[in-house]
Amino acid sequence: MTIDVATGIVRILKQEGVAWVSTFPVCRVNNALGREGVPMLMMRDDRYAVAVADAFSRITAGTRIGVCTFQGGVNAAGMQYAYAGMAQAYEDGSPVLCITDGVPAGSSGNSQYDVASAMKTVSKWFGYLDKPERTPEFMRRAFTMLRSGRPGPVILAIPNATATYDETADPYRPVKGWKSAPDPADVRAAVDQLLAARNPLIYAGEGVIYAGASDDLKAFAELVNVPVVTTLKAKGAFPEDHPLFVGVRGDQIAHYLNKSDVILAIASSLSPGRFSHGIPDPAKKTIIHCNIDELHINKMYPTAHAVIGDARLTLQALRQEVSARTSGAGQMGARVAAGNVAAEVRAARDEALARYRQVMNSDETPINPYRVYGDLMQVLDLRNSFVTHESGNTRDQLSTVFDTLIPRGFLGWGNVSTLGFSLAAAIAAKKAFPDRASVAVTGEAGLGYMMGNLEVLLREKLGVTVVHISNGGFAGYGPGFWGPGHDPFTHQVLGPDEVDMSKVIGALGFHTERVSEPAEVIPALRRALDVNTSGRPAYIEFICSQYPVYGQWVGRGEG
């Protein structure tokens, strides 16, 4: 009957289907997790504890909620370190549950760092459990927020984990999460505009993946025969071998964004950031903004028609409306012959991608990074694998060329992008889909961040491959940190001539290789993926050229 708060929380987590929790000690709920038999994935720092849980929620599109614990209370060292992970989860809108010790009653205002106000800036909700009896209520509320509306992190602070309450007084029932369908009048207005457009474009954001709406997006795009651009975080929401797929970034996106008269944005905030497009000449375009969150409407750009609701229900409603009015494709077909749309997309993509396709076959040494990416695409089963990038050139290059055929076959991340997240993402992908190959592609800086956490992969037998594009410098964003006028004083680090990272990481117990010959890229990748299948992690250092060439974001400067 009577139960302590920590045990109550853990039993509710089990009811909610949480199979494991990532952590960095200490947190008082951890002992209850241990006692109740919930496995803990112990990371080597608090930021990674958050990042792994965050990435798990992203990769499973919120169908399985990632949960983490870290240190809080009056000695909130862990929380201070976890803040970086929280901020990234909040910025990217990831539904992760974070549990920490709360400042005990009688100690508020004691420390300099104000936990509550800090956490409120990086969460959808910061819940301070001020009474043990409220445990079921707080957990209900947390899972309601995690499974409904715009995704975002929730933090629960538990000031007294050993306090007790009557478990039977308010029995917990799992929270399903709820969705809303758009107003039919708004759907009609959107379809009016779309059917009247000369050059419509669909601009799809990550909410398509969270809504499980990839098939609906495909069906709708095909019905109206309109080209599709996806954002970085939505990469994979639309199959990238589809004739209507324009791309994520590059000249072909510029062509379509410039030429479009009507943009139907679905499940994207349309907030031009460092890693997304701006809409050129927005006042001259009709923007139909379909979003779950009214806070994105009329943000940055004037919205001509808003359609508020869940992405899947919205796409289904749009499709029904188009079909009901017309023979669907026939209507749009009157605008432009069906085949021509795909032909134009193909021509635009071929032209924009030609320079990258060429270097994907390059035999030069040091190895061109695109050769590694092209070979990676050949080696992986693109319908049954996971790849992610790092902050820096690997993001820019991979998001330009990597063919993503299934949702979350590739994780694009970072409205703001915290170096080192790729390792957390690759670990989470392995946990979510153990049978899929899982690859993190990183530069020197990302690798530096992950070093302390590599031990986790050995301990947990996580067969992940870290691909290091070893170019001896911090290229970063823009034309490269070595480029004219772009951070020329802060790019150089010890490179492959001075340090052999394959020996360093090999000494830990990873399968490691160091590859400087293009012809060796494929065999080395194969060996790494092969050892991964028996749970051994791998690291391959590819000695690469500095090649800061990639597709641009429209409306961004070079810097």
Please say which residue, 227 or 443, places its beta carbon nearer to ligand TPP: 443
Q: What is the DSSP letter of 293?
A: -
Residue 225: which of ligand TPP, Mg ion, none does it interact with, CB under 5 to 8 A by kind? none
382, 403 Cβ separation under 8 angstroms? yes
Nearest distance, CB of residue 86 and ligand TPP, angstroms: 13
Residue 419: which of Mg ion, ligand TPP, none does it interact with, CB under 5 to 8 A by kind? ligand TPP
Residue 476: which of Mg ion, ligand TPP, none does it interact with, CB under 5 to 8 A by kind? ligand TPP
70, 51 Cβ separation under 8 angstroms? no
Nearest distance, CB of residue 239 and ligand TPP, angstroms: 27
* Residue 541 lies near Mg ion (rule: CB under 5 A): no
Nearest distance, CB of residue 278 and ligand TPP, angstroms: 20
Please say which residue, 331 or 393, places its beta carbon nearer to ligand TPP: 393
Q: What is the DSSP string of 61-95?
A: TTSS--EEEE--TTSTHHHHHHHHHHHHHHHHT--
Other C-beta atoms closer than 10 Å to the C-beta of 372 total 27
SS3 18: coil
Please say which residue, 56 or 474, places its beta carbon nearer to ligand TPP: 474
Please say which residue, 136 or 476, places its beta carbon nearer to ligand TPP: 476
Please say which residue, 446 or 518, places its beta carbon nearer to ligand TPP: 446
Nearest distance, CB of residue 365 and Mg ion, angstroms: 17
* Bridging pattern class, strands 2-4 and 164-166: antiparallel
Residue 214: which of Mg ion, ligand TPP, none does it interact with, CB under 5 to 8 A by kind? none
Contacts of 537 (CB under 8 A, 6+ apart): 454, 457, 458, 462, 463, 464, 465, 466, 510, 511
Interacting residue with Mg ion among 57, 331, 471, 512 (CB under 5 A): 471
Residue 26: asked if its preceding bond is cis (omega within 30°), the reply is yes
Contacts of 488 (CB under 8 A, 6+ apart): 481, 482
Q: Which of residues 436-465 bind Mg ion (CB under 5 A)?
A: 443-444
284 exposed, middle or buried (CB, 10 Å; 0-12, 13-18, 19+)?
Answer: exposed
Other C-beta atoms closer than 10 Å to the C-beta of 13 total 24
SS3 50: helix
The secondary structure of 439-484, three-state, reads EEEECHHHHHHHHHHHHHHHHCCCCEEEEEEECCECCCCCCCCCCC
58, 94 Cβ separation under 8 angstroms? yes
* Residue 390 lies near Mg ion (rule: CB under 5 A): no
Q: Which residue's beta carbon is nearest to the bound Mg ion?
A: 443
Nearest distance, CB of residue 392 and ligand TPP, angstroms: 3
Please say which residue, 279 or 445, places its beta carbon nearer to ligand TPP: 445
Please say which residue, 409 or 548, places its beta carbon nearer to Mg ion: 548
Q: How many CA atoms lie within 13 A of 534 on its CB side?
A: 6
Residue 446: which of Mg ion, ligand TPP, none does it interact with, CB under 5 to 8 A by kind? ligand TPP
Nearest distance, CB of residue 470 and Mg ion, angstroms: 7
Rounded distance, CA 146 to CA 148, Å? 6
Please say which residue, 48 or 238, places its beta carbon nearer to ligand TPP: 48
Nearest distance, CB of residue 112 and ligand TPP, angstroms: 23
Nearest distance, CB of residue 335 and ligand TPP, angstroms: 42
Closest to 515 in 3D by CA, of 368, 408, 394? 368
Interface with ligand TPP (CB under 6 A): 390-394, 417-419, 443-446, 469, 471, 473-476
Residue 417: which of ligand TPP, Mg ion, none does it interact with, CB under 5 to 8 A by kind? ligand TPP
Residue 250: which of Mg ion, ligand TPP, none does it interact with, CB under 5 to 8 A by kind? none
Nearest distance, CB of residue 480 and Mg ion, angstroms: 9
Q: Which residue's beta carbon is nearest to the bound ligand TPP?
A: 443
Rounded distance, CA 451 to CA 491, Å? 19
Nearest distance, CB of residue 91 and ligand TPP, angstroms: 12
Please say which residue, 62 or 443, places its beta carbon nearer to ligand TPP: 443
Nearest distance, CB of residue 481 and Mg ion, angstroms: 9
Instruction: Determine the interface stretch with Mg ion among 111-119, 161-169, 270-278, 468-476 (rule: CB under 5 A).
Output: 468-476
Rounded distance, CA 444 to CA 492, Å? 10
Please say which residue, 296 or 389, places its beta carbon nearer to ligand TPP: 389
Please say which residue, 418 or 438, places its beta carbon nearer to ligand TPP: 418
Looking at residue 228, its amino acid is: V
